[in-house]
Amino acid sequence: MLRAAQLILGLGMVVIIWASFLWARPAENFVGQSSRIVFYHVPMAWVATIAFFLAAWHSAVYLRKRRIESDDAASAAARLGFVFCILATVTGSIFARVMWNAYWNWDPRQTSITLLLLVYGAYLGLRGAIEDSERRATLSAAYALVAFVTVPFLMFAVPRMYASLHPDTVLNARGKIEMSPDIKTVFFAANLAFLALFLWLYNLDRKVSRILREARP
């Protein structure tokens, strides 16, 4: 059953990629074909954010229940979130180069993804600096939670205060999604696919952590 789901995901992803280049039309108000990046950049950014929530959640659960599996989960989410965050930043800056001729604009939205990158980096760096597994779990969980409450300030408060180059968010100010149907279909499919991919990798990472732990008593 799981195997089947994985196969469907693999095939589905290939179809989505085909569709993202050769079926969906390019959107208006974008330079050339550059709107197609939305099928990759946005899912990566959302996954990076979801991973962050996941890491914070499991950190809180760890501090409550002290089960090492929660620490496995938190660190797995952080490792993967970090990768997806890097990818989101890179795809974003490629897009920025095409649209506005500069890889980096110090635009508030663009910078807020670097904040997430820094948080992930710091979390993973902290984990690397502590030998004892319980101590590592406790301290990194505490850090993850503090980061979790402070990050929204930069992600949401500052960009809202200043106008941004970044294209309208998916749900724009009027609360409606303004995409043509073909783009919308591929877009939502891509989001689901990347989320599913993340979950698959996440489970693998947790299993590997467990295997490593059990091999080392």
Nearer to other proteins, 10 or 104 (CB): 10
90 binds other proteins (CB under 8 A): no
138 binds other proteins (CB under 8 A): yes
31 vs 196: CA distance, rounded Å:
30
Please classify residue 59 by burial: count the beta carbons closer than 10 Å to its beta carbon, then call 0-12 exposed, 13-18 middle and 19+ buried: buried
208 binds other proteins (CB under 8 A): yes
Least Å distance, CB 96 to other proteins, is 19
Sites for other proteins among residues 30-49 (CB under 8 A): 33
Tokens of 39: 């099928």
Number of residues located near other proteins, criterion CB under 8 A: 57
Tokens of 70: 């929660």
Single residue of 126, 165, 195, 196 touching other proteins by CB under 8 A: 126
DSSP assigned state of 34: G
Nearer to other proteins, 130 or 192 (CB): 130
Q: Which residues contact 68 (CB under 8 A, 6 or more apart)?
A: 62, 133, 134, 137, 213
139 binds other proteins (CB under 8 A): yes
Which region among 47-55, 85-93, 96-104, 174-182 touches other proteins (by CB under 8 A)?
Answer: 174-182
Single residue of 8, 90, 102, 146 touching other proteins by CB under 8 A: 146
Question: How far, in whole angstroms, is CA 96 from its chain's centroid?
Answer: 19
Helices (H), the chain: 2-22, 38-65, 68-100, 108-128, 133-152, 158-161, 181-214
166, 109 Cβ separation under 8 angstroms: yes
139, 126 Cβ separation under 8 angstroms: yes
Q: Name the residues that contact other proteins, by CB under 8 A.
A: 1-2, 6, 9-10, 13-14, 17-18, 20-23, 25, 33, 63, 115, 118-119, 121-122, 125-126, 129-131, 135, 138-139, 141-143, 145-147, 149-151, 153-154, 157-158, 161, 180-182, 199-201, 203-204, 206-208, 210-211, 214
